[in-house]
């Protein structure tokens, strides 16, 4: 992801906090999913949703890119009901050894986020596997 100016990072922060809120992710989980610094207080997530831009950090931006990819894949998978994506993220799934996809992302970090995206987004999974046409 290319370098973003502070205003773009602010818009991205608002969008991603709103998305994570819709998914039912608590502020402490939001800090984990975004890979924010350890000292980030969960209560600061409200500021990211209002007036604090995301840090200019490559790992944070990579995580945001994957989370947006997951949201897009959920919209494609469930085009008629946006709430189904949230439901899917919060139900046990055989693909993840009967774990909840959201828990996979929270517990396994970036690898878990990538695993959930790869499961939902076959084009992303295809690119990851190195099987380019």
d(CA 102, CA 86): 9
* pLDDT tens sequence across 33-48: 999 998 999 999 999 9
pLDDT at 60 over 70: yes
Residue ranges per structural domain of the chain: 6-128
pLDDT at 3 over 90: no
* pLDDT tens sequence across 69-81: 999 999 999 999 9
**Sorting pLDDT into bands at 50, 70 and 90, what band is 126?**
low
d(CA 41, CA 50): 15
Using alpha carbons only, how large is the chain's radius of gyration in Å?
Answer: 15
């Amino acid at each position: 992801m290319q370098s973003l100016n502070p205003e773009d990072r602010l818009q991205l922060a608002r969008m991603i906090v709103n998305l994570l809120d819709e998914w039912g992710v608590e502020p402490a989980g939001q800090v984990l999913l975004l890979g924010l610094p350890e000292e980030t207080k969960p209560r600061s997530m409200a500021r990211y949703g209002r007036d604090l831009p995301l840090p200019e950090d490559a790992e944070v931006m990579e995580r945001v890119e994957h989370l947006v990819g997951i949201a897009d894949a959920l919209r494609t998978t469930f085009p008629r009901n946006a709430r189904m994506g949230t439901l899917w993220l919060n139900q046990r799934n055989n693909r993840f050894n009967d774990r909840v996809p959201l828990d996979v992302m929270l517990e396994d970090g970036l690898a878990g986020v990538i695993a959930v995206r790869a499961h939902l987004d076959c084009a992303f999974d295809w690119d990851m596997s190195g099987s380019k046409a």
